């Protein structure tokens, strides 16, 4: 793999036009990755689902170079019609289109040259890989006091041309004071056996609001990893929602740093898995100053041969008095081959805090099924209704009414 | 200073800080095959026991010291420890209490355990372990009547080799983790309990441990076997003399419950925690594991941990038999510079197995406390359930409280529920108590005792009183 990496790395540098400084940075990250390799179960973070093993079981001859010289045709049938929106379209990792047609162009800036060093210090070799091999990165800057009129949807599309490839994507978002962004990540794949590695970095200035919805719904045999690093200043709010269902493997990592007073972070997630799928959400919320708040709710519905894992960590610094932190994870196991793992972790150094977590897992409640069946539903309907209600709880946490309705429709949940 | 303050001042200093001057026999410093042979030889052990030790030692050489735990400690030089020391008067075993070294008896009196008195009044058979060798075992007659074997490990190896051979190392094998394997190689003594079929042990069995000789790692080994349909409640309590350097304590405790048997194991641990600046104190790295081997068996751990510089242990239950039950009740209190990383593991293997975990952590001063637990429901453990509750209380913003539960549910018939909260004592509660005439310390004591009540209730009477006092003493000086 080492040789392949080096060859592919050089190829990428040839076709891209990075500054010398960037190439040096990338080289150092590449060396770091070569040293550590893909993470494995020996690392605490990867204990439940070992990406190293999963990649080697699923993808033979992983290659890291993608030819981006040819434009891909955009299939507009994939677009979400029910919602007017701005678009960024990635096909096989290549940026095909950036469209902010609903917005005031002066208020949004797209910057291609910025410092690509990862300051989150998270010791994650997949981030090292991402920075080393991503072929293009840019930053979207939303100016002071500007709220995007329409949501931004980032389409992550792949077609059958792609196989055994590793795609690395990197986007930075800078939300200036009192600005706001609604961002939907929409995944749709026609390819299989690829590994996608997505790294988003968000900086939220005072009073900024970020809402990020990730929707992985269409069934596919790709492996995905997504890392959101969110830095928050005073009074800012971040809301992250993950619908994790379609890919064979998907790990969402969300790392929030609440650096300003009265900032808050909300993370909600749904795993709806069937047929050999293995998904994970790992969150780290760092409460670093006083009066910050976080809330997390993760629910799983697990079918045949599936495995979901939730690792949630709340860290409360000794300065962060009056912190309010809450975590809840629930799982329904539908089949004897399904498996649920959780590690809800609290690390607390301040005394005037309110932190709690809960976790529950089990099968569907027989009494409830009996109740519904005695009212005339058949077993399948009763089961469906219970799962519907179980998941609806999470969707209801979404604060944007329009997107909430869209998601309900997309996932097929009834009110 | 009024009398009350003086009282508190006195209490703050470690109550049991004194040493008895007894000449010790020591094995040469260091860890090697010869030392193990020396230990085995001096205890007149049969060959199979020596082989057990050597096998463990072979394995130990391959193992690395773990370092994933939260509290870090300076590196221990395992070659710089004494692995055996015994009170000299032990060479010719005393037949009764009167024959004991008077100095030894005095030590027990200082600790508040006059053997005969306490034994008679409380109906407890006391097997006092002074350093590493059992000195006196009382109330044997009463126990023998029921066919119960309660003796030191060395005695059991001599007198009941079949039982020891059959069960020793079946729960904690010689191939286990670093500290457990070290124990298997060099353990010196401990308690052995066998409850025969259908017998309900008529009294609480109790052992008092005491660490004495300087620079001696303490390696006790306890083995409790409850045969079919039997019941036993075992108490373990610890006090240790004041000492300047850190002392390692790596005991192994194995419990085995056969069909319909029940074992209740209670610990009050109050070892020397080091001084206010975090200097000195005991390292308590104990491996405690219970195996519910038979159907309908039950093992229950109760612990009150107030001492030690570092406590690092996870009393666990392996629920192998169908319908077996595992319970874990814990209070852990850390003050000053104490550190604790403790919790439990519940491994569900059999059908209809149930487990319950109640853990209460209180940290004050500059201390650090971690609850780390594992609930693992195997795919064959149909219709099993677990309930976990771990609450932490913080006093001051220099201390830390952490919760790291691992939950693995591989069975769709089973239910796992976990709850955890972290908070401080609320101002309203304090205000309410003070309004009714309690001073702040008393108020905190009352609230903390209420916080711990669920666990304290599980302790046998004799321990509950002592434990309640300990909870109060441990938190002295942390208010305000």
Mark yes or no for CB contact A359/B424 under 8 Å.
Answer: no
Interface test with B, best of A41, A307, A316, A361 (most B CBs within 10 A): A361
Q: Range with the lowest mean pLDDT among A282-296, B51-65, B448-462?
A: B448-462
> Nearest CA to CA, how far is B304 from chain A (Å)?
22
A residues 325-354 lying closer than 8 A (beta carbon) to B? 331, 333-354
Axis crossing angle, helix A366-374 with helix A379-395, rounded to the nearest 10: 120
Across all residues in chain A, what is the average pLDDT?
Answer: 91
Q: Which residues of A touch B68 (CB under 8 A)?
A: 44
Least confident of A108-122, B379-393, B437-451: A108-122
**pLDDT tens digits for range B222-279:** 999 999 999 999 988 654 444 545 578 888 999 999 999 999 998 888 777 777 777 7
The model's pLDDT over B179-235, given as tens digits with 9 standing for 90+, comes to 999 999 988 888 889 999 999 988 888 765 434 433 345 788 899 999 999 999 998
Two tokens at A167? 């795609």
Q: Exposure of A52 by Cβ count < 10 A (0-12 exposed, 13-18 middle, 19+ buried)?
A: middle
CA angle B84–B88–B92, rounded 5-degree value: 110
**Residue B260, both tokens:** 């319909």
How far from B431 is each of B428, B435, B436, CA to CA, in Å?
Answer: 5, 6, 9
More confident residue, A374 or B461: A374
Closest partner residue to B401 (CB to CB) among A333, A348, A357 is A348
Encode A103-167 in three state secondary structure. Answer: CCHHHEEEECCCCCCCCCCCCCHHHHHHHHHCCCEEEEEECCCCECCCCEEEEEEECCCCECEEE
CB proximity B147 to A under 8 Å: no
Q: Rounded to an integer, what distance in angstroms lies between the CA atom of residue B447 and that of residue B441? A: 10
Q: Could you tell me how many helices (H) and strands (E) chain B has, helices first? A: 12, 25
Q: How far is CA A200 from the centre of its chain?
A: 9
B379 touching chain A per CB within 8 A: yes
pLDDT class for B478, splitting at 50, 70, 90? low
- Mean pLDDT value across residues B6-12: 50
Using CA atoms, how far residue B7 sits from B11, B12, B238, B276, in Å, is: 6, 9, 23, 18
Instruction: Tell me: pLDDT of B137 over 70.
Output: no
Least Cα separation, residue B413 to chain A (angstroms): 6
CA nearest neighbour of A342 among A395, A376, A296, A392: A296
For B409, the closest of A318, A340, A358 (CB atoms) is A340
Q: Which of A185, A284, A182, A282 is nearest to A231 (CA)?
A: A284
Q: Give the pLDDT confidence score for residue B108 in this predicted structure.
A: 52
Tokens of A186: 């929409």
In a 3-state reduction of DSSP, which class is residue B42? helix
Question: Is B410 near chain A, with CB under 8 Å?
Answer: yes
CA of A139: how far to CAs of A130, A153, A197, A282, in Å?
A: 15, 16, 17, 25
Distances in whole angstroms, Cα of residue A306 to Cα of each of A294, A344, A381, A401, B409: 29, 20, 22, 31, 12
Q: Which helix (H) or strand (E) covers residue B367, if one does?
A: none
Burial of B53 (0-12, 13-18, 19+ CB in 10 A): buried
Number of other residues whose CB lies within 10 A of the CB of residue B468: 18
The residue of chain B nearest to residue A321, with distances taken between CA atoms, is: B397
Q: How many Å apart are CA A348 and CA A315, to the nearest integer?
A: 6
- Tell me the nearest-neighbour CA distance from B351 into chain A, angstroms: 14
Tell whether B415 lies on the interface with A, counting CB pairs under 8 A: yes
* 8 Å CB contact between B31 and B78: yes
Q: Are B456 and B449 in contact (CB under 8 A)?
A: yes
- Class of residue A265 by CB neighbours under 10 A (exposed 0-12, middle 13-18, buried 19+): buried
Closest C-alpha among B276, B267, B271, B239 to residue B367:
B276
Residues B406, B373 contacting (CB under 8 angstroms): yes
The set of long-range contacts for A84-89, using a CB threshold of 8 Å and a minimum separation of 24, is A84/A150, A85/A150, A85/A151, A85/A152, A85/A153, A85/A184, A86/A148, A86/A150, A86/A151, A86/A152, A86/A153, A87/A152, A87/A153, A87/A154, A87/A155, A88/A152, A88/A153, A88/A154, A88/A155, A89/A154, A89/A155, A89/A157
pLDDT digits (tens, 9 = 90+) for B231-242: 999 988 654 444
- Search chain B and give the residue with CA nearest A343: B406
Cβ of B407 and A358 within 8 Å?
no
Q: Going by DSSP bridges, is the β-strand pair A192-204/B125-130 parallel, antiparallel, or unpaired? A: unpaired
Vertex B64: Cα angle to B59 and B66 (nearest 5):
125
| Residue B140 scores a pLDDT above 90 | no
DSSP per-residue codes, A50-114: -HHHHHHHH-SS-B-----SSPPPP-GGGS--SS--EEEEEETTEEEEEE-TTS-GGGEEEE---
- Judged on CB neighbours under 10 Å (0-12, 13-18, 19+), B2 is exposed
Q: Is the dihedral of CA A386, A388, A389, A391 positive or negative?
A: positive
Mean pLDDT, rounded, of chain B:
79
Higher pLDDT pick, B332 / B124: B332
pLDDT over 70 (residue A197):
yes
Q: What is the DSSP pairing of strand A221-232 with strand A192-204?
A: parallel
Query: Which letter, b or e, does each residue of B335-348 get, where b requires 16 or more Cβ atoms within 10 Å of its Cβ?
Result: bbbbbbbbbbbbbb
- The answer to whether residues B225 and B169 touch, using CB atoms and an 8 Å cutoff, is no
Say whether A352 and B412 touch across the interface (CB within 8 A): no
CA atoms within 13 A on the CB side of B96: 3
How many whole angstroms separate alpha carbon B315 and alpha carbon B253?
A: 9
Q: How large is the ipTM?
A: 0.83
pLDDT category of residue A5 using cuts at 50, 70 and 90: confident
Measured N-to-C along each axis, helices A20-36 and A125-133 cross at an angle, to the nearest 10 degrees, of 150
- The partner residue sitting opposite A362, judged by closest CB among B400, B414, B420, is B414
When pLDDT is averaged across residues B136-140 and rounded to a whole number, the result is: 55
E-assigned strand segments in B103-188 = 125-130, 133-137, 149-152
pLDDT-derived band at A74, boundaries 50, 70, 90: confident
Closest CA to A239 of A153, A186, A291, A180: A180
Any residues with CB less than 8 A from the CB of B249 and at least 6 apart, and which?
Answer: B211, B217, B218, B271, B282, B283, B284, B285, B286, B308
pLDDT tier, B24 (very low <50, low <70, confident <90, very high otherwise): low
Does residue A368 belong to the interface with chain B, where contact is any CB pair within 8 Å? no
End-to-end CA distance of chain B: 18
What is the token pair recorded at A220? 């596919």
Q: Decide if A331 and B409 are in contact by the 8 Å CB cutoff.
A: yes
Q: Is B68 or B329 the better-scoring residue by pLDDT?
A: B329
Chain B closest CA to A82's CA: distance in Å? Answer: 38
pLDDT at A290 over 50: yes
Q: Are A227 and A253 in contact (CB under 8 A)?
A: yes
Q: Is the pLDDT of residue A336 over 60?
A: yes
Q: Tell me the β-bridge partners of A279.
A: A250, A308
Tell me the domain boundaries of chain B.
Answer: 3-313
Indicate the burial class of B443 (C-beta count within 10 angstroms; 0-12, 13-18, 19 or more). Answer: buried
Q: What is the pLDDT of residue A394?
A: 94
User: What does DSSP assign to residue B338?
Assistant: -
| Contact predicate A204/A238, CB 8 Å | yes
Lowest mean pLDDT among B86-100, B255-269, B296-310, B418-432: B86-100
**pTM greater than the 0.95 cutoff:** no
Residues of chain A contacting residue B386, judged by C-beta atoms under 8 Å apart: none
Residue A71's Cβ-count burial label (10 Å; 0-12, 13-18, 19+) is exposed
Q: What is the pLDDT of residues B57-105, one digit of tens each?
A: 999 989 888 888 888 888 888 888 777 766 544 444 444 555 555 655 5
DSSP bridge partners of B405: B373
Tokens of A19: 């500054």
Residues of chain A with C-beta less than 8 angstroms from the C-beta of B401: 346, 348
**Checking DSSP bridges between strand A209-216 and strand A180-189, what pairing results, if any?**
parallel
CB contact at 8 A, A352 and B430: no
A336 and B413: CB-CB below 8 Å? yes
The more confident residue out of B42 and A39 is A39
CA distance B294 to chain A (A): 25
Any bridge partners for residue B441, and if so which?
none
Identify any residues that bridge with B216 across adjacent strands, giving them in sequence order.
Answer: B82
- State the Cα–Cα distance between residues B475 and B12, nearest whole angstrom: 9
């Amino acid at each position: 793999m080492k040789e392949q990496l080096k060859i592919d790395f050089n190829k990428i540098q040839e076709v891209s036009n990075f500054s010398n400084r960037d190439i040096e940075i990338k080289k150092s990250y590449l060396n770091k990755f070569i040293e550590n390799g893909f993470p494995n179960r020996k690392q605490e973070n990867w204990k439940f689902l070992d990406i190293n093993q999963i990649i080697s079981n699923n993808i033979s001859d992983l290659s890291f170079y993608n030819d981006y010289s040819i434009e891909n045709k955009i299939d507009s049938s994939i677009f979400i019609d029910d919602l007017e929106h701005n678009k960024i379209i990635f096909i096989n990792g290549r940026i095909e289109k950036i469209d902010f047609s609903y917005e005031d162009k002066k208020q949004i800036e797209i910057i291609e040259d910025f410092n690509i060093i990862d300051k989150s210090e998270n010791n994650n070799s997949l981030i090292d890989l991402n920075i080393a091999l991503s072929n293009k990165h840019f930053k979207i800057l939303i100016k002071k006091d500007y709220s995007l009129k329409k949501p931004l949807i980032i389409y992550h599309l792949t077609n059958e041309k792609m196989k055994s490839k590793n795609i690395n994507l990197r986007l930075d978002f800078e939300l200036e004071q009192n600005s706001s962004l609604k961002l939907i990540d929409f995944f749709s794949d026609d390819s299989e056996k690829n590994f996608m590695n997505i790294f988003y970095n968000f900086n939220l200035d005072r009073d900024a609001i970020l809402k990020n919805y990730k929707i992985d719904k269409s069934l596919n045999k790709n492996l995905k990893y997504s890392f959101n690093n969110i830095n928050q200043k005073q009074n800012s709010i971040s809301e992250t929602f993950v619908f994790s269902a379609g890919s064979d493997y998907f790990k969402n990592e969300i790392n929030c740093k609440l650096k300003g007073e009265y900032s808050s972070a909300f993370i909600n997630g749904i795993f709806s898995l069937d047929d050999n799928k293995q998904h994970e959400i790992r969150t780290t919320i760092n409460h670093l100053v006083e009066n910050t708040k976080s809330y997390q709710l993760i629910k799983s519905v697990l079918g045949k041969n599936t495995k979901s894992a939730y690792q949630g960590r709340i860290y409360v610094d000794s300065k962060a008095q009056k912190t309010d932190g809450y975590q809840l994870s629930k799982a329904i196991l539908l089949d004897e081959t399904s498996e649920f793992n959780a590690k809800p972790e609290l690390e607390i150094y301040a005394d005037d805090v309110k932190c709690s977590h809960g976790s529950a897992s089990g099968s569907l409640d027989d009494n409830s099924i009996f109740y519904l069946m005695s009212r005339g539903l058949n077993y399948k309907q009763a089961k469906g209704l219970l799962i519907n209600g179980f998941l609806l709880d999470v969707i209801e946490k979404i604060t944007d009414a329009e997107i909430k309705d869209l998601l309900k429709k997309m996932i097929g949940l009834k009110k | 200073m009024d009398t009350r303050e003086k009282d508190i001042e006195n209490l703050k200093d470690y109550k049991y800080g004194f040493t008895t001057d007894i000449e010790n026999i020591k094995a040469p410093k260091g860890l090697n095959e010869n030392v193990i042979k020396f230990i085995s030889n001096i205890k007149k052990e049969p060959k199979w026991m020596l082989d057990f030790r050597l096998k463990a030692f072979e394995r130990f050489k391959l193992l690395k010291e773990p370092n994933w735990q939260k509290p870090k400690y300076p590196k221990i030089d395992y070659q710089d420890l004494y692995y055996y020391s015994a009170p000299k008067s032990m060479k010719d075993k005393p037949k009764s209490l009167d024959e004991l070294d008077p100095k030894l008896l005095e030590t027990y009196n200082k600790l508040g355990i006059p053997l005969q008195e306490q034994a008679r009044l409380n109906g407890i058979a006391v097997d006092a372990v002074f350093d590493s060798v059992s000195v006196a075992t009382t109330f044997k007659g009463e126990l023998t009547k029921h066919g119960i074997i309660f003796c030191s490990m060395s005695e059991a190896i001599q007198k009941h080799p079949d039982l020891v051979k059959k069960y020793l190392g079946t729960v904690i094998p010689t191939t286990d983790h670093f500290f457990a394997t070290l124990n298997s190689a060099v353990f010196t003594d401990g308690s052995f309990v066998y409850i025969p079929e259908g017998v309900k042990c008529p009294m609480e069995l109790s052992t008092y441990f005491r660490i004495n000789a300087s620079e001696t790692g303490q390696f006790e080994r306890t083995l409790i076997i409850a045969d079919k349909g039997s019941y036993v409640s075992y108490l373990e309590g610890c006090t240790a003399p004041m000492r300047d350097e850190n002392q390692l304590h790596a005991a192994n405790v194995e419990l085995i419950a056969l069909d319909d048997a029940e074992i209740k194991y209670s610990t009050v641990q109050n070892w020397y925690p080091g001084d206010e600046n975090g200097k000195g104190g005991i390292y308590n790295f104990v491996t405690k594991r219970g195996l519910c081997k038979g159907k309908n068996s039950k093992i229950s751990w109760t612990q009150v941990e107030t001492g030690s510089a570092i406590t690092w242990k996870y009393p666990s239950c392996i629920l192998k038999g169908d319908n077996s039950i595992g319970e874990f009740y814990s209070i852990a209190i850390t003050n000053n510079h104490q550190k604790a990383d403790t919790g439990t593991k519940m491994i569900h293997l059999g059908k209809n197995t149930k487990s319950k975990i109640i853990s209460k952590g209180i940290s004050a001063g500059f201390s650090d406390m971690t609850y780390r637990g594992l609930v693992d429901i195997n795919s064959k453990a149909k219709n099993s359930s677990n309930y976990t509750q771990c609450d932490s209380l913080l006093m001051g913003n220099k201390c830390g409280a952490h919760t790291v539960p691992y939950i693995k549910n591989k069975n769709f018939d089973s239910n796992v529920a976990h709850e955890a909260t972290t908070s401080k004592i609320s101002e309203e509660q304090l205000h309410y108590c003070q309004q009714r005439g309690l001073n702040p310390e008393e108020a905190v004591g009352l609230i903390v005792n209420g916080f711990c009540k669920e666990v304290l209730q599980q302790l046998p009477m004799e321990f509950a009183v002592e434990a309640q006092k300990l909870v109060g003493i441990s938190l002295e000086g942390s208010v305000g």
